[in-house]
Amino acid sequence: MAVDINKPISILFPYSEEAEYTQLSNLACHDLALDTLCTTLAQGPKEDVLIMGILSKLTTDRRVAEYRQKVFVDILNLPDLRKKMMELLDKISYIKDFKTMKRGSSERIGLWDLLHKLDEISDYIKCVEAMQDCLGNADLKSQGLLDLREYINAVYTDSFFAEMKADIEKVKAEATSVKSVTVGINVNERFEASSLGLISINDTPFKKSNIVSNFADALKSRNKLHEGTDWDGDMHYTPAEAEEGEGIVDRLSDMYSKATTGGIIMKNVVNAHATTAAVPKGDGVESTTFYLGKIVTKLLDTLVKKLRDTLGKYVNVAVVNISKLIPEFVFYIRFAEFIEGNLKKGMPFCEASILSEKELADGFTMKARGLYNLKLAISSNHSEEIVYNDLDFDSDHTVYILTGANRGGKTTITQAVGLLFVLAQSGIYVPASSFEYKPVDNILTHFPADEDKTMDLGRLGEECVRFKELYTEATEDSLMLLNETFSTTSFEEGYYIARDSVRAILKKGIRTIYNTHMHKLAYDVDALNEGDAKVKASSLIVKNEGAKRSFKVEVAPPEGMSFAKDIAEKYGVTYEMLTE
């Protein structure tokens, strides 16, 4: 079957016409520490935005996660492929900036834009050739990269590509040979500039020279010829018309007072010398370049027309498709480098798998063994420093009421579960010894709000409004992570709101971890389970070994009605802390 090189191809977003994606909220991304993760992985702010944009889109279509996962395994296992792709990224400027070739007519754009577009297509040609070299001999297993190799080969062997390569090389050679342009200025009896025209196009740039001697030589010998970029006496003149409503004097004054690019000389007759000036930085650069571009476009009409004709012929869909692939490779490569480094430290990572139909029928929606928070891999140098936990979601354990000592790891484990789903559904190895799951359509987080966000409604009012919004948005395929929700009021008020909220969560069947200091809520799980919900809540505790924090969780009743001493220490209200 022939490959359609004009059809979009992606190694991150397959089944584009069928898969539906949900965008995680900015708050959820922050609560899950995705911002920290992206900054750690990225080499620069553009990569940071790129990686976050991919991680924060979730789909329940299991085919997407499985497809991505196989691509990631290939990239992780093929360091030579990663190296070649990153070398390509460093060499090609427009790809490095993650630009995408824009389609459309080139009829109205000027010389500078055309030259920029010429560079982009030249880079595209190099990109196709380099990608064919990268993928050609690689031992690929994933369908995604095998399809990509076939696509690249089809582009490379297409007669259109060979023709484009030859044409672009020819027109690029012609365009880049222009190093300077000589312009002539007509003046009136008051020696005011009245018109501007093209004298010659030169293959060498102007250098500092004495305009007086040049002018004198020209007067003495009208037929004298000069080599290089000095005025050669050729009086053929192609005028540049002023825009309607704009005097040529104004245009010249603006042009020569600001300076120019491209080696066009700035002639100051009054001061009797010539200089070649660079475009100043700061205000005016963009307008000066734009204005000069309009003039030069008119002066170099033949070259511009040839550029337009050639580029208009080749700016097609295939160019866009290829340019979009490099950022996708960056996403996989940055994660592969990160995980490879942590595997060498002894930290476990595994390939996630979707739960089978039988396990789903048995009520399981997650089975995690040896899980830990990915942030620990960022901050720790040794695997011995990390505590690993096991946790399942099933019909009897769909809502966990998580209690334990302050600073015992409740928030860490809550966040860790969310990160498992984000990574697994992005196709990336997850921080666990094994992870089986049913994909989630969204991750909804309710962590303590910043003080300035609660000024109008008060803390409790803000929490209630925000929770209602989350609950309305959630489905039975969502994951909800609640961190000390409704704990900013009195125990009685917070408990009754929390109890009703948990009952509503059970009715929808939302996978939830509710991290709270309200131990009574965990004690009352049997009462909470008396409703008509098909799933149940259970008590999950962070085990406490005296004064020592174990950071291990297990399904069990709360160890005490409260950890008042821990709370008092957190807020500095023990007798000793108050009277120090």
Lowest mean pLDDT of 209-223, 314-328, 511-525, name the range. 209-223
Question: Are residues 208 and 224 both part of a single domain?
Answer: yes
Domain assignment present for residue 30? The answer is no
Q: Are strands 511-515 and 399-403 parallel, antiparallel or unpaired?
A: parallel
In the predicted structure, residue 294 carries a pLDDT above the cut 80: no
Inter-residue contact 555 to 540 (CB < 8 Å): yes
In the predicted structure, residue 280 carries a pLDDT above the cut 50: no
Q: Quote the pLDDT of residue 510.
A: 97
Question: Are residues 79 and 129 both part of a single domain?
Answer: yes
Lowest mean pLDDT of 190-194, 228-232, 324-328, 343-347, name the range. 228-232
Q: Where are the alpha helices (DSSP H) in 474-543?
A: 491-508, 519-523, 525-528
Domain assignment present for residue 337? The answer is no
Question: Are residues 67 and 164 both part of a single domain?
Answer: yes
Would you tell me how many other CB atoms lie within 10 Å of the CB of residue 155?
22
pLDDT band at 313 (very low <50, low <70, confident <90, very high): low
pLDDT band at 461 (very low <50, low <70, confident <90, very high): confident
Question: Are residues 443 and 352 both part of a single domain?
Answer: yes
Estimate to the nearest angstrom the gap between the alpha carbon of 300 and the chain centroid. 39
Question: Are residues 423 and 455 both part of a single domain?
Answer: yes
Domain assignment present for residue 36? The answer is no
pLDDT band at 301 (very low <50, low <70, confident <90, very high): low
In the predicted structure, residue 85 carries a pLDDT above the cut 70: yes
Render pLDDT for 148-203 as a digit per residue (tens, 0 to 9).
999 999 888 887 788 888 888 887 776 677 777 777 777 778 777 677 666 777 77
Can you say whether the dihedral through the CA atoms of 41, 421, 374, 459 is positive or negative?
positive
Stretch 533-543: mean pLDDT:
94
More confident residue, 323 or 83: 83
Number of folded domains that form the chain: 3
Q: Quote the pLDDT of residue 455.
A: 43
Inter-residue contact 470 to 480 (CB < 8 Å): yes
Q: Quote the pLDDT of residue 356.
A: 94
The CATH number for 531's domain is 3.40.50.300
Inter-residue contact 169 to 123 (CB < 8 Å): no
Question: Are residues 130 and 52 both part of a single domain?
Answer: yes
In the predicted structure, residue 264 carries a pLDDT above the cut 50: no
Q: What share of the chain is helix, strand, coil (3-state, %, to 5)?
A: 50, 15, 35
Q: Quote the pLDDT of residue 316.
A: 61
In the predicted structure, residue 303 carries a pLDDT above the cut 60: yes
Stretch 480-491: mean pLDDT:
85
Domain assignment present for residue 25? The answer is no
Would you tell me how many other CB atoms lie within 10 Å of the CB of residue 253?
13
Question: Closest by alpha carbon to 432, among 352, 339, 340?
Answer: 352
Q: Are strands 537-545 and 399-403 parallel, antiparallel or unpaired?
A: parallel
Question: Are residues 520 and 428 both part of a single domain?
Answer: yes
Question: Are residues 423 and 470 both part of a single domain?
Answer: yes
Stretch 193-220: mean pLDDT:
63
More confident residue, 58 or 532: 58
Q: Quote the pLDDT of residue 545.
A: 67
Estimate to the nearest angstrom the gap between the alpha carbon of 63 and the chain centroid. 23
pLDDT band at 423 (very low <50, low <70, confident <90, very high): very high
Q: Quote the pLDDT of residue 225.
A: 41
Question: What is the identity of the amino acid at 539?
Answer: S
pLDDT band at 549 (very low <50, low <70, confident <90, very high): low
Question: Are residues 502 and 515 both part of a single domain?
Answer: yes
Q: Quote the pLDDT of residue 97.
A: 60
Residues 6 or more apart whose Cβ sits within 8 Å of residue 313: 164, 167
Of these ranges, 121-125, 209-213, 216-220, 409-413, the one predicted with the greatest mean pLDDT is 409-413
Q: What is the mean pLDDT of the chain?
A: 79
Alpha-carbon distance of 276 to 288, in angstroms, equals: 15
Alpha-carbon distance of 139 to 129, in angstroms, equals: 18
Domain assignment present for residue 421? The answer is yes
pLDDT band at 17 (very low <50, low <70, confident <90, very high): confident
Q: Quote the pLDDT of residue 578.
A: 78
Q: Quote the pLDDT of residue 548.
A: 59
Q: Quote the pLDDT of residue 382.
A: 72
Question: Are residues 511 and 437 both part of a single domain?
Answer: yes
Question: Are residues 491 and 527 both part of a single domain?
Answer: yes
Q: Quote the pLDDT of residue 481.
A: 97
Q: What is the CA radius of gyration of the chain?
A: 33
Stretch 212-233: mean pLDDT:
50
Q: Quote the pLDDT of residue 253.
A: 42
Question: Are residues 420 and 534 both part of a single domain?
Answer: yes
Question: Closest by alpha carbon to 242, among 231, 260, 254?
Answer: 254
Please identify, among 245, 276, 299, the residue that sits at the C-terminal boundary of a domain: 299
Domain assignment present for residue 95? The answer is yes
Q: Quote the pLDDT of residue 534.
A: 92
Three-state secondary structure call for residue 400: strand
pLDDT band at 379 (very low <50, low <70, confident <90, very high): confident
Alpha-carbon distance of 545 to 551, in angstroms, equals: 10
More confident residue, 78 or 561: 78
- Find the domain containing 197 and state its range: 180-299
Domain assignment present for residue 289? The answer is yes
Question: What is the identity of the amino acid at 35?
Answer: D
Q: Quote the pLDDT of residue 105.
A: 46
Domain assignment present for residue 373? The answer is yes
In the predicted structure, residue 229 carries a pLDDT above the cut 50: no
Alpha-carbon distance values, 3 to 9, 11, 151, 162 (Å): 11, 16, 6, 17
Render pLDDT for 344-367 as a digit per residue (tens, 0 to 9).
999 999 999 999 999 999 999 999
Q: Quote the pLDDT of residue 472.
A: 95
The residues pairing with 201 across neighbouring beta strands, listed in sequence order, are: 181
Alpha-carbon distance of 537 to 443, in angstroms, equals: 19
Would you tell me how many other CB atoms lie within 10 Å of the CB of residue 19?
16
In the predicted structure, residue 515 carries a pLDDT above the cut 90: yes
Question: Closest by alpha carbon to 337, among 87, 48, 72, 68?
Answer: 72
Q: Quote the pLDDT of residue 273.
A: 34
Q: Quote the pLDDT of residue 405.
A: 79
Alpha-carbon distance values, 317 to 152, 314, 321, 340, 424 (Å): 14, 9, 6, 35, 31
